[in-house]
Structure 1
């Protein structure tokens, strides 16, 4: 688990280290202990499990007092012990991961906690290359939905697919031959006509893209009346300022790219 992510983080650390860290070189035979401090309040901590794995790669002992998903305030979250040189070269990467993941988890939690109803809040594929799985894991820690983890997890037909296949019917028929019973077909639509055309062609999920909240609710009501088993997702132009306008009994998923693209880093520090 996390093998790819650990490899990537180690590559970044070694590139940062270059031949050696000049400031830390004389400390290479010294053992030390240090504390990891959270310097903000009202934070959903995320990244602990991955950091423990990363530290073990450098033979650094770690003990954390909290688990991923815990809601905590300004405090010491854990302690580490090991070779001083190794601790110093992993410090910034370790803190960056905790800061990023905790920021996403905290934002997700703050938004999800305001939803009164069955509608779920989901991330999108607007994640940073290489660290996307960690960003989506942070969404889970914050109580959100990850959406699809990769391109093959579900069959998602977007506007460019429809343009290239020539029509909604052509696109759906083309991908059906590759659909396993474990997969769902989702299609992105931009108007009511295409919405019902997609439903008539037996897709599993319909994404209403760039609809106003009122239009999305009205169309979702019509769609659910005729096709009660279809999952309805809304996306496009949705932010923390307007997402609650889309919460509705007929809307299953609100997906928001800004869960992972517009965040305020959580402040962590390491003190020997």
Structure 2
């Protein structure tokens, strides 16, 4: 039986990742969003609708993976409203709304009507974007699994400033790896670092002095020779960047033969459509910036239920 933090979906287990996000920190982030949406601290529309308690329904209007509940819940909790989710439509579930011909009721919000409307757009923005990342991630991961590839499909640090946690969280819900969450997690030595240090070996050696044993070091490489130099210098991961697919597979096999425990990542302009060309046993990670840069938002709406 799946644990309380997991649920079954089409024979696969999806994980509830919400416990990853410290509630205190998330409340601060969401409060900033709310403050940004009402900087003058006046809400004329709120005056119009008043403070009577009302009910509003969250509708999903386009197909996709449901993601971002924690941001939706926190928005309305800060505004003194209560959210109740439908049991069959939990986070991580892929819902088909028949391309917009029907909509799915996901949750109900109860509270002062002015407060519901103050949180409406903030909550929907977070849900629609988180779900967009999760949906695109799910498609990429499923494509890789259909080809019996066992490695990681990962995002990158190409995220929206101020919105990184939402997009990184969407990657997880969709089944992809986050790569490094931020600049401080893992050491990534790219061309600018290497040029500044003088060589790959110098860059890795200095990075290891500061990172010690607790952080992995990854080096972006443009050729087989660079990858071998990085491996010999003590890198944990080499990224084969902007390689042609056949050359990448050939070079990855050569590197793995000499350094079987080295993690090899393929990156550089890879999309879900082109990803199959790069997959092989010698490649452990395929990263796609498009997962957090080129996603389409899932369409949600929040509608007040008229008084009877």
TM-score (ref. length: structure 1)? 0.95
Candidates 5, 23, 27, aligned match of 2:45: 23
Structure 1 counterpart of 2:101: none
CA contact (8 A) 2:188 2:219 kept: yes
CA contact (8 A) 1:38 1:73 kept: no
Candidates 142, 151, 173, aligned match of 1:113: 142
Distance 2:65 2:197 in 1: 44
State the number of aligned residues: 271
Moved more, 70-79 or 31-40: 70-79
Shift of 1:2: 4.8
Q: Which runs of 4+ in 1 moved over 4 A?
A: none
For structure 2, the residue ranges without an aligned partner over 5 or more in a row are 1-21, 98-103
Within the alignment, does 1:70 sit opposite 2:93 as a pair?
Answer: yes
CA contact (8 A) 2:249 2:278 kept: yes
Distance 2:218 2:210 in 1: 14
Within the alignment, does 1:79 sit opposite 2:101 as a pair?
Answer: no
Correspondence 1:1-272 to 2 at 5 A = 1-17=22-38, 18-41=40-63, 43-65=64-86, 66-74=89-97, 75-115=104-144, 116=147, 117-272=149-304
CA contact (8 A) 2:46 2:115 kept: no
Distance 2:35 2:210 in 1: 42
Moved more, 12-21 or 174-183: 12-21
For structure 1, the residue ranges without an aligned partner over 5 or more in a row are none
The root-mean-square deviation of aligned C-alpha atoms, in Å, is 1.3
CA contact (8 A) 1:49 1:68 kept: no
Shift of 1:226: 0.7
Shift of 1:238: 1.0
SS in structure 2 of the partner of residue 130 of structure 1: coil
Distance 2:142 2:262 in 1: 25
